[in-house]
Structure 1
Amino acid sequence: MLTAIVTASAATLIAGPAAGMLGYRQLKRTAHAKKLRITAPRGIEEAGFVRIGGIDQWISVRGDDRANPVILEIHGGPGASNHIFLPRTRGWEKHFTVVRWDMRGAGRTFAAHGPDGQGELTLHQLYEDALEVTDHIRSRMGVDKVLLVANSFGTVTGLRLARNHPERYSAYVGTDQNINAGGRDHGAFDALLARLRAAGKRKDLAAALAMGPDPTAWTPAQWAAHAKTVTTSDPLTYDTMKTVVVRSLWFSPLHTLRGLRSYMHGMTFSKRVAPEAVTIDEWADGTDFALPFFIFQGAHDVLTPPAPARAFYEAVTAPVKDFALIEDASHFASFRHPDRFLQLMLTRVRPAITGRPADAAQSSPADRP
């Protein structure tokens, strides 16, 4: 949901980096690459293209023990691959095998084919792709079910998958959870207006008022502009963008400068699918889930506020369900505090999918870049 601000911030770095900045970047990238090596005898570390939905799409599989539960991540954006966060989440791979997939329009999938080679970019196609990826991973890892973990824009597809296919997924975990209500919920918009008025940002306030509170009436450009205004109007969200997201991009050991440009072009390309999502009504689609259901939300998230997520959670019926707030976190809560997110996964989710009590000693300290 943050295409405009990510692109603007990272482009400043890429456009004219000083020699010293490039040298420091290379040192950090080298250290991250070393940190990412998996040497455990039962580990798995592989990445490559898999034919999904008629095009080759990039999938990585990483973990220290193949016997651990398998996570399939559904990334956000749209078009924002989670591969940039690998160094921050290295600790997760000690307890889970983590599958990261660059959807069509994102990351290396976008880079490999360009804008004309992405095929149909719709929510329905992303959903169909996700089912293919799921079945590929189930076969590759020899498991009946995978643990579905979705963040931000990816939670739109994540809820569809969890609601419709409990036979494929052991549980659903949503973070930065979107709860679309067909354009009826104006709480985040009203909160934005209040912040803009308090800060005296008259130009931004006028632009927001001109757009109106109904996101179903916005163009893709307005949708992106709104996300940028929300982000820059909230200090915690803006700090997270700079210290977590942009730093993860800049120091990613998987991305050259050319790769970073392609990453951002993919986000710009993919924003066309965003307005389709806000027309969805999650309440109308249903609150019955035949699998364990979890939401771990940033306590101060202004992009996907915790109140609608909590209200939806309260209405959900599921065999097991749980909700937790991650303090000192806005959007990207799981990546700002990967250690806290891991602790929730170990103490609340893993027992529900394995049938064994949590071992608090399993948790590990944060893996910071």
Structure 2
Amino acid sequence: MLIVVSILSIGILILLGILLAMSPGKPEPFLDENGKPLAGSISEKIFVDINGVEQGMFIKGKDINNPILLYLHGGMPDYFLTQKYPTGLEDYFTVVWWEQRGSGLSYSPDLPKETMNVEQMVSDTIELTNYLRQRFGVEKIYLMGHSGGTFTGIQAAARAPELYYAYIGVAQMSYQLKSEQLAYEYMLQQFKENGDTNMVQKLEAAPVTMTGGVPDSYNLIRDIAMHKLGIGTMHDMRSVVTGILLPSFQFREYTLGEKLNLWRAKSQSGISTLWSDMMVVDLNQEVTKLDLPIYFFEGRYDYTVNYALAKDYFEKLNAPVKGFYTFENSAHSPMFEEPEKMKKILLEDVLAGTNNLADGK
């Protein structure tokens, strides 16, 4: 027994050493052809007081004079995925990967739970926007929301359109309860056709309906089921463990403590705690008009936030310029799955204020 305990202890120490070595916690600079920091670039991890709460973010860009893009993550921060799935956004934007109130770098066990609400998140977004405008000396910035970040992002854009050149919704939410019902029905049918009786039994025991809502037992199997069918984070990502958990611990710009807080926040705090609020709000009724250009980027295989519902919502929205773009090989994360297509659209349509590449054009 003593030998077994000793071996386990040594193994734990070795694993801890590896994790610490993989966690320097410093943003890596952009380098020129001589291996020196690229002149005019920015690569930093900072903490800013936003409405009385210290919140963290990464700011990355190859040219400080490029337009500012504020990115609002969904259920958890996903900047760490850029180590494995580079987006290239920093080539033509100065990207602010904000880890919102209660999430990731901004996690604190002392954060009052009553401050975690939609109104506060919208207010935080506008407050950070004004900080960025002042810091970089610009009149407006670009706002991009992803998944749950689109829920607050589109409301911030509607409330303060004068602060933004455009709003970009990636996997745009509309009426999430309806989206979950459609996902449930699709998954149940697919698992029946695949002969996966285990998943069929679990889903049948946790039905999602418009009247009964979303059972807790469904939420426990939701991500696993979606990734099995390629309708989750990415179309080619079949496991949350290998696709998200392991890359988060391999990410070098977090300290080990920040990596642990990323997952503590996922389960206890952050934007994921707004899930029940997001579920019942129909944005088709809440936000019907935006006084700025809007662009929706949607993955064909996305059932995490339903593709068809996003398209229907887009068609109802009033805006001076509108563009809807289907990413045929993507599920929930086109910026990681088809970055070259996204780059082309951002450069030729979004930055130009046009919609020439949009579906149907």
Question: TM-score scaled by structure 2?
Answer: 0.81
Correspondence for 2:261: 262
Structure 2: runs of 5 or more not aligned: 1-10
Correspondence for 1:285: 286
Q: Give the stretch that moved more between structures: 288-297 or 118-127.
A: 118-127
Alignment partner of 1:83 is 2:84: no
Q: 1:233–1:253: structure 2 CA closer, same or farther, 3 Å change rule?
A: same
Structure number with bigger Rg: 2
Cα deviation, 1:291-349, whole Å, max 9, x if unaligned, reads 11101111211212211111111222211111112232111221223233222211221
Structure 1: runs of 5 or more not aligned: 1-15, 359-369
Q: 2:42 aligns with which of 44, 54, 78?
A: 44
CA contact (8 A) 1:69 1:146 kept: yes
Q: 1:352–1:228: structure 2 CA closer, same or farther, 3 Å change rule?
A: same
Q: Which amino acid aligns with 1:229?
A: A
Correspondence for 2:53: 55
Q: Which amino acid aligns with 1:48?
A: I
Q: 1:181–1:305: structure 2 CA closer, same or farther, 3 Å change rule?
A: closer
User: 3-state DSSP class of the match of 1:41?
Assistant: coil
Cα deviation, 1:252-292, whole Å, max 9, x if unaligned, reads 11124443222111111133321110111111113322111
Q: Which amino acid aligns with 1:342?
A: K
Alignment partner of 1:200 is 2:192: no
Alignment partner of 1:334 is 2:335: yes
Correspondence for 1:66: 64
Alignment partner of 1:231 is 2:230: no
2 CA distance for matches of 1:43 and 1:302? 37
Q: 1:68–1:82: structure 2 CA closer, same or farther, 3 Å change rule?
A: same
Correspondence for 1:121: 116
Q: Cα distance, 1:132 vs. partner?
A: 1.0
Cα deviation, 1:57-102, whole Å, max 9, x if unaligned, reads 113322122221110001111xx11331343446211211111111
Q: 2:102 aligns with which of 105, 121, 128?
A: 105
Q: Give the stretch that moved more between structures: 229-238 or 45-54.
A: 229-238
Q: Which amino acid aligns with 2:264?
A: H
Task: Give aligned pairs, total.
Answer: 335
User: 3-state DSSP class of the match of 1:278?
Assistant: helix
Q: Which has the higher helix share?
A: 1
Q: Cα distance, 1:244 vs. partner?
A: 5.1
Q: Cα distance, 1:150 vs. partner?
A: 0.6
RMSD between aligned residues: 3.2
Correspondence for 1:309: 310
User: 3-state DSSP class of the match of 1:197?
Assistant: helix
Q: Cα distance, 1:246 vs. partner?
A: 4.0
Q: 1:184–1:268: structure 2 CA closer, same or farther, 3 Å change rule?
A: closer
CA contact (8 A) 1:196 1:202 kept: yes
Correspondence for 2:4: none
1 CA distance for matches of 2:16 and 2:303? 32
